Amino acid sequence: MISQRETMSFKFEKLIVWQKAVDLSDKVDALTKKFPKEEVYILTSQLKRAADSVSLNIAEGSTGQTNPEFRKFLGYALRSDIEVVACLYLAKRREYISEEEFNEIYSFCEEVLVMINALRNSLK
């Protein structure tokens, strides 16, 4: 979990969806530690970058941007979240993760997706 500072300087730090996205990155990082070494520059890297991109795009779009610009970055975050799910399918097919691990991260991705969409819709 993210440690909370008493005063937060950036708008994104206050967003629950950003905090959840960082939690997603942590979960993916822990999950990929057990992937085979030959995947380190392939699926491991792709999955970790996709997970990190969710929170990074939320942060980048939130500060000093117009609502339409923020919506665009939330769209990028949404696509990165979906990319995480696609990578999970590959990891499961290759038997790097169990069904239980797949379901846990998949559900987390669904939750993040709903939150991103809700925030996007509030910016119309």
pLDDT value at position 109?
98
Q: Indicate if the pLDDT at residue 63 is higher than 90.
A: no
Q: Indicate if the pLDDT at residue 4 is higher than 90.
A: no
Distance set, CA 82 to CA 11, 91, 99 (Å):
24, 14, 18
Average pLDDT for residues 44-50, to the nearest whole number? 98
Closest CA to 106 of 74, 75, 81: 81
Is 69 exposed, middle or buried (CB count within 10 Å of its CB: 0-12, 13-18, 19+)?
A: middle
pTM above 0.85, yes or no: yes
pLDDT value at position 65?
76
pLDDT value at position 6?
54
What average pLDDT does the structure give for the chain? 93
CB crowding 49-63: b at 16 or more within 10 Å, else e: bbbbbbbbbbbbbbe
The full set of domains in the chain, from first to last, is 11-122 (1.20.1440.60)
